[in-house]
Amino acid sequence: MRVDPADRTKVIASLSRIVGPIRASAGCISCDIFADVNDPTVLLFDQAWTDVEDLSNHLPAKCLRVLLSALDCAVDRPNVRVDTLTDTRGLDFLARCLDDILPGI
């Protein structure tokens, strides 16, 4: 995602707070934040899970809210992808996960 340089530190700090809890979730293989060395406005929040069910069942609601809040800081539409061997999903998948965890929010 591309963030305003003024928001970069805030976004990195927010995402850094949820890396540990996500890594501790059942089925999480990895969770990392990457910054583009040539363009300080570009950040990548990357997670790998054993399967989609683990992602949707174990991603903590608080972490999902922080992630969605960080995406709100993007200066253009962020590229959100949930890739599996058979398909690719997007931001709608994360929204459904949040709705399953906290209906009516």
* CATH number of the domain where residue 87 is located: 3.30.70.100
Q: Report in angstroms the alpha-carbon separations of 101 from 34, 37, 41, 57, 94.
A: 27, 36, 31, 8, 11
For residue 54, the tally of other CB atoms under 10 A from its CB is 15
pLDDT digits (tens, 9 = 90+) for 27-50: 889 999 999 999 989 999 998 888
- Sequential DSSP letters for 68-91: HHHHHTBSS-----EE-SS-EE-H
How many domains does one find in the chain?
1
Query: What domain range is 21 assigned to?
Result: 5-101
Is the pLDDT at 105 greater than 60? The verdict is no
Binned at pLDDT 50, 70 and 90, residue 87 comes out as confident
What is the model's pLDDT at position 68? 83
pLDDT-derived band of residue 104, with 50, 70 and 90 as boundaries? Answer: low
Determine the pLDDT at residue 6.
Answer: 92
pLDDT tens digits, one per residue of 50-81: 888 888 777 667 787 888 889 889 999 888 87
Structure tokens at 38: 């040539």
